[in-house]
Structure 1
Amino acid sequence: MPEVTSMQEAFQKVGEHDVAINQNILPRIEVLEKEHLDFKQEMTSFKAEMTNLQKGQKDVEVTVMKDGKETRDLLKPFADHALKQMEFEAQAKKEIAIKKLDNKDKATVALYGAIGSGGIVTIIAGFMALFK
């Protein structure tokens, strides 16, 4: 920077700097400060919306879990009943199949059972069924 030769030139330079600051720099700083303030307000609004969104999501999760539990509680008696009905029907079919066997078939089943298990009592029961 060249040396200032007189006081008048020094004041003139200061005046030029003052004009540059007031006309160029300060308006730019004001614009930046306003933009910064707007940005902070938008971020605050965004944070509030995110908080509300997270709360809503948790509420939905709780609602879904409650509905699932209510559905399970409602369907459990029906499922238990259906399972018992299937067991009952299977047992009834088994008993009907056994009752349909004639005496000869009963004796054959008893004989095979006796051979498989080696029990004399089963053989005797088979012959008793044969001669009933």
Structure 2
Amino acid sequence: MLNRHDELIHHDILPRLEKVEKAQLDFSTQVEAISSQVSEIKSSQTNLELTVMKDGQETRGLLTKFIDHSFAVDKAKLDAQRDVIHRDERITLKRFSTREKIVLGIVGAFAGSGGILAGIAGLLQILK
């Protein structure tokens, strides 16, 4: 019986045990390889994040300069248009004679701020 157990251990159990130990060693080697790859991926991801953040910051800086420039150009155009409009208005008013200015003032007084309505109400009171 002792020989049978010895034969069973040497032919059946020991080869299986060697296979398990080899598989465990291969598994440990693969885990180490995967761990080093994960570390490399983390490092690459960190570098990529930094690069993207730097690019984003540069882009925001350029866009800020562009927007400021664009608003400055738009403001200059609007100021120029206002100057032209005000100049045209001044020229138009200067062409009116004194008599025309008085007539325009009277019409504006009656027409402005409910003057026409007050005139109509007064006319209705007179007609009653």
Aligned to 2:89: 94
- Code of the residue aligned with 2:22 in structure 1: it is P
- Code of the residue aligned with 1:67 in structure 2: it is L
RMSD (Å), alpha carbons: 2.6
**C-alpha separation between the residues in 2 aligned to 1:29 and 1:85?**
82
**C-alpha separation between the residues in 1 aligned to 2:15 and 2:109?**
120
**C-alpha separation between the residues in 1 aligned to 2:14 and 2:112?**
116
1:32 matched to 2:27? The reply is yes
**C-alpha separation between the residues in 2 aligned to 1:12 and 1:104?**
136
1:108 matched to 2:120? The reply is no
| 1:7-26 CA distance string (max 9 Å, x none) | 2222222212012221x322
| 1:10-58 CA distance string (max 9 Å, x none) | 2222212012221x32232232222222211111111111000110111
Structure 2 counterpart of 1:56, from 48, 51, 68: 51
Q: Choose between structure 1 and 2: higher helix proportion.
A: 2
**C-alpha separation between the residues in 1 aligned to 2:91 and 2:76?**
22
- Code of the residue aligned with 2:16 in structure 1: it is A
Quick one: higher RCO (CA 8 Å, sep 6+), 1 or 2? 1
**C-alpha separation between the residues in 1 aligned to 2:69 and 2:55?**
21
Alignment gaps of 5+ in structure 1 = 1-5, 119-132
Aligned to 2:79: 84
- Code of the residue aligned with 2:66 in structure 1: it is T
| 1:42-99 CA distance string (max 9 Å, x none) | 1111111100011011111211222233334445544443232122111011112222
Aligned length: 113
TM-score by length of 1: 0.69
**C-alpha separation between the residues in 2 aligned to 1:117 and 1:10?**
122
1:17 matched to 2:13? The reply is yes
Alignment gaps of 5+ in structure 2 = 114-128
**C-alpha separation between the residues in 2 aligned to 1:117 and 1:75?**
40
